Chains A and B, each alone.
Chain A
Amino acid sequence: MNESASAEPGASGKPVRAHPAEPGASGQPVRAHPAEPGASGKPVRAHPAEPGASAIRFEGVSKRFGEFAAVDSLDLDVKAGEFFSLLGPSGCGKTTTLRMVAGFEQPSEGRIFLEGSPVETVPPYRRNVNTVFQSYALFEHLDVERNVAFGLKRRKVASDEIRTRVAGALELVELRGRERARPRELSGGQKQRVALARALVNKPAVLLLDEPLGALDLKLRKQMQVELKGIQREVGITFLYVTHDQEEALAMSDRIAVMEHGVVRQCGPPEEIYEQPTGPFVAGFIGVSNLLPGKVEGSGVRVAGAEHCRAEVPGHVSDGDDVQLSVRPEKIWIDDLEEGMVSVGGTIVERVYVGTTTQVIVELAAGARLVALEQNTARARSDDRWEIGDRVRLGWHPEHARVLR
């Protein structure tokens, strides 16, 4: 994602690498996502939208169904050309938020602006947005070409232009030659591409995507993630992307808003969300949950098992407060520790082999567990080293621990 940020400075509004504490010494890659689509040979066009301009703005938007608040005073500003993800568990309000932008739901309170203009009185068919539905929602009685042309026909675009643009859109999603196919003759991945082409061909100000890859199998999903990001870069349209898959959000987004119970818990670029979670929910939802309960004591936290861990204590917590200490698994070292590391002792209770790494689960005290990773690289002969039941010392550099409340 750094590539996209550096290629288009300012497109995401904030500088991506704003955090000063970015550790250069971590030595391990944070994420291993597949090759970036920039290498796929497609020409990358500049964003047509004015960079930095607001594409969607939510001002105190709430949506209530009876007593239940699906979305609760939401404030967000999505910039033009941004790939923006709403990430959260099911029922967190992300889809409702999307549907309010599309016009299928009306906010109970607050206002939504599309390219600066309020939209509450604009019916869905006059909003300059298009949606890719999770179920694809293709028109079964129309062939691929007519499906894609549907939006242009409604807007009375000249038939010559419709033909060119439909062909272009099908080219973009690599579906040339399937113009005459009916949706039921297509595979899941192809249907997904038709849905994407049908929306993109209208060149909307914002493309809304509601878990568009949710119905695909894992391999296809990974492949489509790369393609989707490439397409977004190529067409330069603002994407508002709803997903519950944290890996998907991290891999594709310029910025992510993590939602829980209708509220945005944290909003920022993927690195910031991952490396500097501001609360236990975000820390637990993104990546492997590695939270130690404890109490603040001086310049650190006394965690269960009575060990004192040095950590930067944020201003809003004080001595004696109940907090959670969060450390990402790949930041934890086992046994061969370095000078200046925080260290705790524990017993290995489980080893989970997941291919490139093995998760080592260490219990520090009853109810206090940490996951550390062993690299299964050619040099690491990890199998000889740690077994279930071994006593080990875990360590990490103090700047990699976050105190969360």
Chain B
Amino acid sequence: MSSLAQADAPAAAPARRVAAKPPRDFDRPRFLRVFVGLFFVVMFAPIALVVLFSFNASRSLQNFDGFSLRWYERFFESETLRSSLLASIEIALITMVVATALGTLLAYGLVRARVRWSGAMNVLMLVPLVTPEIVAGTSALLLFTQVGLELSLTTIVLGHITFSISYVTVVVRARLAALDADVEHAAMDLGATRWKTFALITLPALWPAILAAGLLVFALSFDDFVLSFFTTGESPQPLPVRIWAAIRFGVTPTINAIGTFMLAISAVTIGLAIALPRLLGRRESGLGVLLGREGA
């Protein structure tokens, strides 16, 4: 608040001095800064606490008694937790690869095939994004038991792929819609077959979006709980389900360590999704791609 008061001071000064400084922008109200700042504090404080106490030397969840990595050791020493972590990574990787491939093809079909009902299909495709996960989870569980599929990592992967395709399609479709169809026509006009055109022209143009979508799917799948909970088998269980099971017997500092570790993986993934397209020499960042913005 003190900085606010300081900044206001020149405005109250005599007109002569005001003229020396450019007039303040009336379309940038200052109280909004405070509001935005408060929002970030409230949002990040709990997460910061988890990270902080994961390094606590003592068992306490109230007092920080010095830095230590003992809870991380505890995490990695546990056979169950380690296999859960590996299972989660495996699920996320397979989901990423399969959902990205299918979602990209779906986007290509929706934008370029121009079939009848494509308007309706474009909307229907969004349904998995708005379906409550509890519904998706229950229906997946029902389906798997009906057809006699034993619950395992496979069923989790199938569930994750199903909802992830939509995310990929949304991101890739935005990029594809921004790509002038005449660019593909030009390639064919110059002698490239349809397949060559896709491989040589369309795919390179879509790369940033595909990459960003894949990493987004990895992050979503890696920390998904609800759908995993409904479709998981006995063992190994994915990490979020494992944490939930452990927490029923009381919150231990190990949970903080696992939470921090997962946070780090998710943050790295999202960071890659934003940074990689830029590193690959594209002008637009992955963030812009994710938000459906076009490179200028």
Contacts and interface: CB of A to CB of B under 8 A. Distances in A.
A130 B204 CA distance: 23
B187 interface: yes
A124 B205 contact: no
Nearest to A184: B283
Interface in B178-192: 180, 182-183, 185-192
Contacts of B185: 102, 104, 124, 131, 133, 137
9 contacts: A103-B188, A123-B193, A125-B191, A130-B190, A131-B189, A133-B186, A150-B187, A199-B190, A202-B190
Contacts of A104: 185
Contacts of A126: 191
Interface in A133-178: 133, 135, 137-141, 150-151, 154-155
A198 interface: yes
B201 interface: yes
Given A139-B201, A140-B205, A141-B205, A151 B182 contact: no
B192 A125 contact: yes
A130 B187 CA distance: 10
Interface of B: 180, 182-183, 185-193, 196, 201, 204-205, 283
A133 B182 CA distance: 7
Contacts of B204: 141
A137 B183 contact: yes
A250 B40 CA distance: 65
A164 to B, nearest CB: 18
Query: For the complex, would chain B's binding face be called helix, strand, loop or mixed by DSSP majority?
Result: helix
A305 to B, nearest CB: 51
B188 A125 contact: yes
B188 to A, nearest CB: 4
A130 to B, nearest CB: 6
A220 B186 CA distance: 24
A208 to B, nearest CB: 8
Given A123-B188, A131-B185, A154-B192, 20 more contacts: A103-B188, A103-B189, A124-B189, A125-B189, A125-B192, A129-B189, A130-B190, A131-B186, A131-B189, A133-B182, A133-B185, A135-B182, A137-B180, A137-B182, A137-B183, A139-B183, A140-B183, A140-B205, A150-B192, A154-B191
A150 B184 CA distance: 12
B196 A154 contact: yes
A233 to B, nearest CB: 24
A394 to B, nearest CB: 48
Contacts of B186: 131, 133, 137-139, 198
B187 A155 contact: no
A47 B45 CA distance: 78
Contact of A154 (B182, B190, B205, B283): B190
Contacts of A141: 204-205
Contacts of B190: 125, 130, 150-151, 154, 198-199, 202
A139 B187 contact: yes
B193 A135 contact: no
Interface in A198-233: 198-199, 202
B15 to A, nearest CB: 45
Contacts of B188: 103, 123-125
A128 to B, nearest CB: 10
Nearest to A208: B189
Contacts of B189: 102-103, 124-125, 129-131, 199
A135 B182 CA distance: 8
Most B CB atoms within 10 A — which of A126, A131, A133, A154? A154
A149 to B, nearest CB: 10
B182 A155 contact: no
Nearest to A104: B185
Nearest to B203: A141
A34 B198 CA distance: 43
Contacts of A123: 188, 193
Contacts of B187: 139, 150
Nearest to A156: B191
A137 B187 CA distance: 9
